[in-house]
Chain A
Amino acid sequence: MSHFLSPIFAPGFFESEAVHIALAVGALVAVVTGVVGVFTVIRGQSFAGEAFSDLGTTGGAGAYFVGVGTLWGFVIGNVIAAGAMEAIGVQRVRGRDVATGIVLGAGLGLAALFLYLYTTEHSTTGATVTILFGSAFAISSTTLPLIAVLSGIVLALMLTIYRPLLLSSINAELASARGIPVRLVGALYLLALALAAALAAITIGTILSTALIVGPAASALRLTRRPLTALLTAAAIGIAAMWVGIVLAYDSYHWPPAGQGWPVSFFVVMLVFLTYLLSGLPEARRRRHAARAAPAAGVMQPATNS
């Protein structure tokens, strides 16, 4: 069996525990980010999603500095950020981008400080890279329960608020007229986004995790209009990107420069990006067909008083 597959899977792939963990965590994270991401794109809050991801840097750096597990750092940091965003009013448009940017700047400045302090105190390197670009193969098995629990929370949360969230994302006024607590639903969704971003960060790093939240979701929404199908498609794309990325990263240990390997996050992001570009093809083809169709013949339209 391994003989047949060895061109694709480098030796030791299926036996390595790190790979097993990476594949399991990757799949779980892909599902979570896919589900949350679809709503992020529908709500047009991709900038907020990106801000969360970047702000995770602060949490992660803080965790290193304090000596806690990075995942905790991401989670706590992101939840605080979610609170701050809610206070600013992510839902409002005016001045939102500037306010978000300012918070981001302050957070990243703080992250710079934490990383500096940690690196000088411990005179070890690798913190910056791990936090920012992830370390899918370095996830310890002790973190697994926490990851599973957090994923479960996010999915349970999304399941609970699914209908009201969908309605209020498409038309907030209509939803509120129907008695949906739009503000509360929005806040819960932000919480889910914060947790999802934290989970994404441990696999592919904070500043790249936007790709996982927004990419598969955006691709899915270009391919289908139905929400449920979009959720499933986004999750599927995410899992595929993750797994293929993991395989390629593992194989790359044998590529130049030898013994180092290319980052998992690089492959995952590139695959997500590629998928997004490809997802635009059906629409482009449709538009080309429509342009070739014969123009309408009639001129006089029925009188309307619109």
Chain B
Amino acid sequence: MVNAWTVASIVAVVAGVVGFFTVLRGSAFAAHAIPNGSFAGAAGASLIGVSTLLGLGVFAAGGALTIGLLGRRGRHDVATALALVAMLALGALFLSLSQEYESAVYSLLFGEVLGISPNELAPTAILAGLCICAIVVLYRPLMLSSVLPEVASARGISTFRMEIAFLLVLALATAMTVPVVGTLLIFSLMIGAPAAARSFTDRPPLAMALSVLIALVIVWIAIAASYETNYPVGFFVGTGSALAYVIGRLTAAVRRTRQPGALAPHAAR
């Protein structure tokens, strides 16, 4: 049981950190599509009898590169959408060929934190460490190229390389979090927590810290509730993220009306 808490906490931290940039870059689609792609990897891995994590990782990286090379800024694009749905279909095939079609599908898609074994703790922690290190190293150039890509280019920062690097980190993050939360739901944690966090603060480092905190709260509540009711963790994560997001939006609206002489939001000039 302690195992589940530890793993889930690690997942939440990674989701909060990587999610901060996911929302900043508007890459909600990538966060949704990459885990779908890695679904095939996990299915294939279980068919061959290799580690699921490996299958997840390899296919997630493949999905990330597909989006990076074919798509635009991790934003929705028909080509990449089709490629990733094709991967999903492949996963369906792999699972149908194995014996445990139904249960495997369910746990891959919706997560199975309470079924995490102790020897999965170490690799998860290592991968999490890698993700966070990567984000720390990329922080400055990634921030600029996310917010002002043209200016970043002028400074010699390759926005293409930043995009690929970020998508690979995203892939790594989703791969290691999927066994806990499931492919269909990891992105809601990765988006809901940072989206809520940005309603409470204007500063980047605070926003990231808050994003991690909110993700932890969501995950802890989810595990506790799942333990109590036996309902799937994914249900609580999905609805919890939505709740956090709504609270964030309401707070932002209240803040805006309270600020005297608040400037109306402006988009491009």
Contact = CB atoms under 8 A, between A and B. Distances in A.
A132 B105 contact: yes
Contact of B105 (A46, A128, A210, A262): A128
A47 B75 CA distance: 9
B102 interface: yes
Q: Dominant SS at the B interface?
A: helix
B83 A273 contact: yes
Interface size class of A (residues with CB under 8 A): 35 or more
A266 B90 contact: yes
B133 to A, nearest CB: 27
Given A98-B191, A263-B96, A46 B78 contact: yes
Interface string B74-104: 0110110111011011101100110001110
A29 interface: no
B81 A46 contact: yes
Given A108-B185, A109-B239, A208 B82 contact: no
Contacts of A85: none
Interface string A94-112: 1001101111111111101
| Chain A, interface SS category | helix
B82 A108 contact: no
B93 A266 contact: yes
Given A102-B192, A105-B188, A210-B85, A113 B232 contact: yes
A101 B81 contact: no
Contacts of A126: 102
B200 to A, nearest CB: 16
A208 B191 contact: no
Contact of A273 (B26, B86, B109, B185): B86
Interface in B164-197: 182, 184-185, 187-189, 191-192, 195
Interface stretch (B28-36, B122-130, B149-157): B28-36
Among B29, B31, B90, B182, the most chain A Cβ lie within 10 Å of the Cβ of B29
Contact of B235 (A41, A97, A112, A205): A112
B267 interface: yes
B29 A263 contact: no
Interface of B: 23, 26, 28-29, 31-32, 36, 75-76, 78-79, 81-83, 85-86, 88-90, 92-93, 96-97, 101-103, 105-106, 109-110, 182, 184-185, 187-189, 191-192, 195, 231-232, 234-239, 241-242, 245, 267
Contact of B93 (A103, A108, A110, A262): A262
Interface in A54-73: 54
A265 B78 contact: no
The 4 closest A-B pairs by CB, nearest first: A109-B238, A105-B188, A269-B89, A106-B242
Given A105-B241, A106-B239, A112-B238, A208 B78 contact: no
A116 interface: yes
Nearest to B23: A98
Nearest to A267: B89
B162 to A, nearest CB: 20
Scoring A41, A54, A94, A128 by chain B CB atoms within 10 A of each residue's CB, the highest score goes to A128
A102 B78 contact: no
B251 to A, nearest CB: 15
Contacts of A158: none
Contacts of B90: 266, 270
Contacts of A298: none
Most chain A beta-carbon contacts within 10 A, residue among B82, B232, B267: B82
Contacts of A272: 82
B93 A105 contact: no
Contacts of B93: 262-263, 266
A250 interface: no
A243 interface: no
A125 B28 CA distance: 32
A259 interface: no
B92 A106 contact: no
